[in-house]
Amino acid sequence: MDRRSKPAWQLKIAKERIDILFKEAQKTKEKKLQNRYVELARKIGMRYNVKIESKYRRKYCRYCYAYLTSKRRLVKGNLVVNCIDCKKTNRYPYK
């Protein structure tokens, strides 16, 4: 173990907590609470240097970090999601 890196058991717990937070954000309908869960998940990821999985990265806006509840659509091979809060468009490649 490098002296700067965290132990493996801490990284595992951090990933589990991120999973739990995104599941809770999906369950609740309160916009403020959903955004708080995303904020906490991002902070855990930064603190323990753990990447948030791509399935969760697509669930929040990469500009304002708000939880995305808007409609998704396919345009020319891209998944397009519009953020309600900041009015930006998030595009993700789709196979």
At 24 the pLDDT is 97
pLDDT in tens, the chain (95 residues): 677 889 999 999 999 999 999 999 999 999 999 999 999 999 999 999 999 999 999 999 999 999 998 889 999 999 999 999 999 999 999 88
Whether 54 is covered by a domain: the verdict is yes
Whether 33 is covered by a domain: the verdict is yes
Give the structural domain span for 38.
8-93
Report the C-alpha gap between 49 and 70 in whole angstroms.
Answer: 29
Number of domains in the chain: 1
Whether 3 is covered by a domain: the verdict is no
Report the C-alpha gap between 62 and 11 in whole angstroms.
Answer: 23
At 1 the pLDDT is 67
Whether 1 is covered by a domain: the verdict is no
At 88 the pLDDT is 93
